[in-house]
Amino acid sequence: MSLLFMGSLLCGLVAGIIAGMFGVGGGIIVVPVLLFLFYVDGINPVISMQLAVGTSLATIVITNLSATWNHHQRGAVQWRAARHYMPGCLLGAWIGSQLAAAISGKVLVMLFALFEIYVGFKMFRSRTTDATPIKPVSATVTPFIGLGIGTLSSLFGIGGGTLSVPALTLLSGLPMQQAVGTSSAIGVPLALAGTLGFIQAGWQVTSLPPGSIGFLVPTAFLGIVAGSLLTTPLGVRLAHATDPVRLKKGFGLFLFLVGIKLLWR
């Protein structure tokens, strides 16, 4: 087996736990790992970030399907809330994919690094898994919130949970466990729309690695999916059986350090 596949498989094992436990799709780990693997594999650095983001989104489709099913089995998916966010997320995901294809790879890496630092800092500072909700927003407003979630999530190759979990707790008043499950459900069509956008945006690029489908690398996709499908149910069980405050802080510190490393790569 190739180094790219084996590295992707190990990445998928970790991403699956994170996706199931926090409803974040795993892309926040997958993208920096793929950047490293593509560097080792000698893939053109000019387009490596777009390839990492497009491939990450494709894996999130499968990872979030698994997480959604496992959360649904436990009654933790609020489908009504998910339907309110999905239209905006779908449109935003397509917009984000087109923006990512147009932005310089170096700039996109820098933006992603700053995003990881911000998310890591917020998670590390978190003292509780449940946010204090404000007055819930109306159903007419949530599609516009979804638009922002979809655009940023597709731009950075994440499943949207980093943004949608806080939105679902703060703006829709869902408890943390239901917010995680519902975020996973929202992330499926979001990641699918983003993936199709990245495939389309990279279709005519001539410097793609062999076997690529637009900005999607099948070898990395298969490795990550194989790993994540094994561990996503474990992440879901941990989300429902554990108070993840300490783990959330540790994960936040890890993201912060990854972001610093990407800025100084």
pLDDT value at 131 more than 60: no
Q: How many domains in the chain?
A: 1
Q: Which residue has the higher pLDDT, 186 or 67?
A: 186
Mean pLDDT of the chain: 82
Residue with tokens 């990407």: 262
Average pLDDT over residues 131-145: 69
Q: In whole angstroms, give the CA distance from residue 31 to residue 14.
A: 13
The secondary structure of the chain as a DSSP string is: --HHHHHHHHHHHHHHHHHHHHSSTTHHHHHHHHHHHHHHTT--HHHHHHHHHHHHHHHHHHHHHHHHHHHHHTT---HHHHHHHHHHHHHHHHHHHHHHHHS-HHHHHHHHHHHHHHHHHHHHH---SS----SPPPTTTHHHHHHHHHHHHHHHT--SHHHHHHHHHHTS---HHHHHHHHHHHHHHHHHHHHHHHHHHTTT-TTPPTT--SS--HHHHHHHHHHHHHHHHHHHHHHHHS-THHHHHHHHHHHHHHHHHHHT-
Question: Tell me: the pLDDT tens digits for 54-90?
Answer: 999 999 888 888 888 988 988 889 998 889 899 999 9
Residue pLDDT, tens place only, 11-42? 999 888 877 776 666 777 888 899 999 999 88
pTM of the model: 0.80
Domain limits for position 254: 3-263
What pLDDT does 254 receive?
67
Question: What is the DSSP annotation of 97-126?
Answer: HHHHHHS-HHHHHHHHHHHHHHHHHHHHH-
pLDDT over 60 at 134, yes or no? no
The label of the residue with tokens 């992603």 reads: 112
- The pLDDT, as a whole number, for residue 67 is 81
Q: Which two tokens stand for residue 221?
A: 């996709």
pLDDT band at 222 (very low <50, low <70, confident <90, very high): very high
Lowest mean pLDDT segment, chosen from 124-133, 134-143, 149-158, 203-212: 124-133
